[in-house]
Structure 1
Amino acid sequence: MERSLALMRPFGDGDYINGCTLGRYERQLAMLAPDVPAATAVLEALRAADPVGRTRTIGDPVFRSAVHKLLGHHRLHLPQPDAAECADLLRRTALLLAAPERSPLAEGVVALDRLGAAAHHGWIWREEREEDAFAHHFRALLHERVPHLIPATPDARILDNLVRGAELLETLVPDLARSTLAHVQVVVVADVPARRPLMPGEEPAFTSLTNPFILGTIFLAPNVLRNPWSAAEFLLHEGLHQKFMDLEHTHSMLRKGYSVDESPVINPPWHRVQLSGASQWHVNRSISVTHVYTALALFFARARERAAELAPRFGPVDSAELELSLRQSFDRATYLGEKLMGARDELGVAGQRFLDWLNGLLRTFDPAPPPGGGYVHLLLDLYDREAREFATRLAHLSPADLEKPVAPVPGASEASTVPALVAHLEAVETARAREVMAALGRTMPGGFDAPPPAASAPLAERPSDVAARFSGVRQRVSNVLREVPWAEYQVAREGSTPRPDEAVRELLGYSDRYLGRLLKHMTASFHAAA
């Protein structure tokens, strides 16, 4: 599997893809040459440079941005206020290529830290640098494209975890690591402004990011760089998105005329439904994520096999979490791959072959593939994750917070406090689990008792008691639903409306509305008391 993901042409071989990218920029520079003399100078310097210098230059985010903006200005006649600045950046790039030890953006960094010593290792952004023309353009890109992120110089611990994370990645999947990291020129440690401390159990607002307008660059939050294992995972994750973007720019991954505005969308069942639409993925994002999850399955499989052996070098890692992440990676990739088959016409010739290649890898290497079309297991992953997050946050409320009124929720107007709303939710989820089992023609196991109704819910419980009760109810519901073979959920029984898998989806949809209201209330109460 690794050889295919890392070395197979045209989709795996990173050197081949970078060669295609070089050819693309050579053609674009030739197109610019009649209007931008500096383009000719860069083109000649690229051809005279050594392979490392060429690769680092064409991967540089500022060089790429300057070329793209000049093409838009001179070929598409788009207004470009900084066209003269972009032409000057090309002139400076040509001069730097005479001694290409660094990429253009890296030239102004005095103390340059890299992920490693090899040619394919990118460098790590530092705020302490010369504010030259390249830095000015890069900061303008950040302000325009990712204004919510604040870049930072990593401290010694985070820097060490990044370097050791790259080393761990190359220990576990050496070919895939090299093939992926070859597309990452810059690693930026960044975060969003902290409006307030996170409540225990609250997910961070930002973990990692790749932006299609800032190529060759990945953004990682400090919270995902807490140890080498997590750093390795996110270097691979975001690096693969960059690799896909290079494929997208050099191969017919999407049909001619593809538009995000008109693209079909996929709703991943493991994400909460969001009114903003952020939980909906268009075809181009969905196929990139399928690629990421397929490769992550290999990463987690290798990590599981070698966790004990590598612990003395890279620290301990939770084996159960590795097992869970491995299964989820296979399941999510398979789900997306199947859904994308229904949107196949949105892909170009290369994109269709790419999808077939990924689906073939999954069929070959997944030891326990889910049934075709199944998604209940993915819904229950979300159900369990929500239970852990909610119970953790609930347990950190004060007893007085439990008595505060909660804004009315449609369908449960009589439940006006956290314990009462939680009890209402427990009763509904238990009842709906019974309905799902009845639709499946199955009986509930003995001892599966519904919690007391909301009207009789105790109002003076400790927060930890309410959290423990909620966790227990969700665990029982999840266990019962997971005991049913996944394929049975897709069978519509006579008189069963909706189908069992859709009934599980409706159960989570109902609960999500309540949990969203409760989480908002609990977070406000926690910070008001802090």
Structure 2
Amino acid sequence: MPRNLTEIDRILGTDPRFGSADTIDARNTARFRVGLRILAGRHPRHATEFGRVGRLPTAGLRRLLCDPVLHNAFERDLAVALSRPSEPSTLALMLRQAGSAKDALGPCEGLMESHHQPWPALGPAWVWTSTLPEEAHPLLTALGRRRDDVFEEMGVTRRVEPDGEALAALSRGAELLAELLPHTGAGALRHVALVGFAEGEDEDGSVHSFACGDRLPSALFLSPHALTDPWKAAELLFHESLHLKMFDIMRTGALVSDIGRMTGIPPWRVVDWNLRRVYSSLHVYAHMVLFFAAAAAAPAELRRRYGEPPARESVGACTPGSVAAAEGTYATSEERTRYLACQALHAHGDALTSDGRAMVVRLLDAVAPLVPGLPPTDRSPEHATERVTASAPDPAAVPHPGGYHQRRPITVLPLQDQGTLLAVAPGSSRMVWLNAHAWFVFSLCDGRDLRALEAAYLRKAPGGLSGLGGALEALLSAGLIAPTGTPPPATVTVPATTPTTAPAAAGSRATEGAAR
């Protein structure tokens, strides 16, 4: 693989905020632990069990909560924690039903009649192989119901029980993907918990593959007929695994402030897309540009073992009746990346948070050598996407002269090696991710007055106070601090340490990951 392709693979696959499977996994594990604390407070009768699970070693915790059925229950409980607090806990029920599962395997995985991990050296994914009737166990029943919900939405008619040939083809496609793209390809597979096989047709024709959302988290389905060519198998695995990776990224921070905003109909489809789909699809297609470039440049040794890569790329047919279908356009990942980049940075760039902009800019800068004509990613005035108005300052944004204190009781979990603090404000189920700068400012809000707070801030940020006001405003908006003089309750859970990294003012805002 040419040097520039190797470098793009490394940049996209190891970026500590948006690329590294290890750091994304660590943030999601922290989210599980803090989420269990929230649920323990909402469901006192289950607090002991939630506390036990929350104290499990990382491997044991993830074996339980990365199970698609239990993960779905976790997300559901968090979503209704405030809106319907009297509703029984689905997660508690599923944990009881998982009691008989084999300890070395996840709850649903342990109920499979035969156990198959398609890429054991790359991640803990398992294959849905069971031929048992779904009423044989409550977890199988729950798994089937969630599958049916997804299948109905995707136009899929039935689950397929894989034979040895299909399982071998699946593993072969994963091996090729990891060899071709050792950072982005192998890393994306880490985000898969469950692989199933299915057949059906949607409005675009036969369904070859699809990733599931929160109804069946970290799961993807493939058609056995699409896996006969290792290159096609690798392409589909990469495409769907990237969707699952993006779901994990979005759970651990807010990238878009108005994610439900409708953006119009992309040329290759016939339905309106919202911003969630725009940014998720941009993430996938930009990576697929790299995949097809790497396939075209694959060394002879890979071609000898896996056959010749496709002469032309195919990223999915344009929907019949769409503009692109009529004109024969937008049939490549490059064309779709260019279109979605303009949507993300220009048409709707005002909805990006600072983290969202950082992710999009990093992604587009990395693949720019492969996609001529991408929109510029600089922040110069002619390309600015954030509106700046010369108006009087908002009085609410002027720092309080008496200083601030941390609201109580606050739940926090520091990720020291990432310079990140995960926090939950009192009476909330909303998780807030503080970067090193916001965390540092949060640590200074101990009741000292504003003059003392500013002096302490300048000792670590001698460049000036420009980043302080924005961080205080974000912390206030998140409900984590209050002006001094507001009586705090008697108890508090506080971070044991402050961040070890120097607090940079740029990108200093707190970011929220909604409990979905």
- TM-score of the superposed pair, with normalisation by structure 1: 0.60
| Corresponding residue of 2:249 | 247
Aligned 8 A contact 1:72 1:78 in 2: no
| Corresponding residue of 1:265 | 263
Q: Which SS does the other structure have where 2:146 is aligned?
A: helix
Structure 1 Cα separation of the partners of residues 294 and 44 of structure 2: 49
Aligned 8 A contact 1:38 1:91 in 2: no
Structure 2 Cα separation of the partners of residues 327 and 335 of structure 1: 12
1:442-521 aligned at under 5 Å gives the runs none
Structure 1 Cα separation of the partners of residues 366 and 167 of structure 2: 34
Structure ranking higher in helix proportion: 1
Structure 2 Cα separation of the partners of residues 292 and 114 of structure 1: 24
Aligned 8 A contact 1:60 1:104 in 2: yes
Alignment pair present for 1:19 and 2:26: yes
| Corresponding residue of 1:465 | none
Aligned 8 A contact 2:211 2:220 in 1: yes
Aligned 8 A contact 1:58 1:64 in 2: yes
Q: 1:235 aligns with which of 237, 255, 262?
A: 237
| Corresponding residue of 2:342 | 338
Aligned 8 A contact 2:97 2:139 in 1: no
For each residue in 1:250-271, what CA deviation from the matched residue of structure 2 results, as whole angstroms up to 9, or x when unmatched? 111121xx352xx1314333x1
Aligned 8 A contact 1:105 1:135 in 2: yes
Q: CA deviation at 1:129?
A: 4.1
Structure 1 Cα separation of the partners of residues 316 and 256 of structure 2: 32
| Corresponding residue of 1:176 | 184
Q: Which SS does the other structure have where 2:291 is aligned?
A: helix
1:71-470 aligned at under 5 Å gives the runs 71-77=78-84, 83=88, 86-93=91-98, 100-118=103-121, 120-129=123-132, 131-147=136-152, 148-149=155-156, 150-192=158-200, 204-213=205-214, 214-255=216-257, 258=258, 260=260, 263-269=261-267, 271=268, 274=270, 277=271, 280-306=272-298, 308-321=300-313, 328-341=332-345, 342-363=347-368, 365-366=369-370, 369-370=372-373
Aligned 8 A contact 2:201 2:207 in 1: no
Structure 2 Cα separation of the partners of residues 232 and 126 of structure 1: 21
**Structure 2: any 5+ residue segments left out of the alignment?**
1-7, 318-329, 377-516
Structure 1 Cα separation of the partners of residues 316 and 137 of structure 2: 46
Structure 1 Cα separation of the partners of residues 146 and 219 of structure 2: 12
1:65 maps to a residue whose letter is: N
Q: Which SS does the other structure have where 2:183 is aligned?
A: helix
- TM-score of the superposed pair, with normalisation by structure 2: 0.61
Aligned 8 A contact 1:14 1:183 in 2: yes
Greater mean deviation of Cα atoms: 292-301 or 319-328? 319-328
For each residue in 1:398-424, what CA deviation from the matched residue of structure 2 results, as whole angstroms up to 9, or x when unmatched? xxxxxxxxxxxxxxxxxxxxxxxxxxx
Q: Which SS does the other structure have where 2:355 is aligned?
A: helix
1:178 maps to a residue whose letter is: A
Structure ranking higher in strand proportion: 2
Structure 2 Cα separation of the partners of residues 27 and 176 of structure 1: 28
**Structure 1: any 5+ residue segments left out of the alignment?**
195-201, 374-530
Structure 1 Cα separation of the partners of residues 201 and 279 of structure 2: 31
| Corresponding residue of 1:9 | 16
Structure 2 Cα separation of the partners of residues 36 and 135 of structure 1: 28
Aligned 8 A contact 1:337 1:358 in 2: no
Relative contact order higher in (CA < 8 Å, ≥ 6 apart):
2
Q: CA deviation at 1:183?
A: 0.9
User: Percent same amino acid among aligned pairs?
Assistant: 26
| Corresponding residue of 1:198 | none
Structure 2 Cα separation of the partners of residues 85 and 323 of structure 1: 38
1:265 maps to a residue whose letter is: T
Q: CA deviation at 1:109?
A: 0.9
The structure with the largest alpha-carbon Rg is 1
For each residue in 1:202-222, what CA deviation from the matched residue of structure 2 results, as whole angstroms up to 9, or x when unmatched? 963322222322211012223
For each residue in 1:257-289, what CA deviation from the matched residue of structure 2 results, as whole angstroms up to 9, or x when unmatched? x352xx1314333x15x3xx2xx3221111111
Change (3 A) 1:78 1:307: farther
Q: CA deviation at 1:172?
A: 0.6
Change (3 A) 1:312 1:24: same
1:167 maps to a residue whose letter is: E
- How many residue pairs align between the two structures? 349
RMSD of the alignment, in Å?
A: 3.1
Q: Which SS does the other structure have where 1:218 is aligned?
A: strand
Structure 1 Cα separation of the partners of residues 309 and 175 of structure 2: 16
Q: CA deviation at 1:54?
A: 3.2
Aligned 8 A contact 1:36 1:87 in 2: no
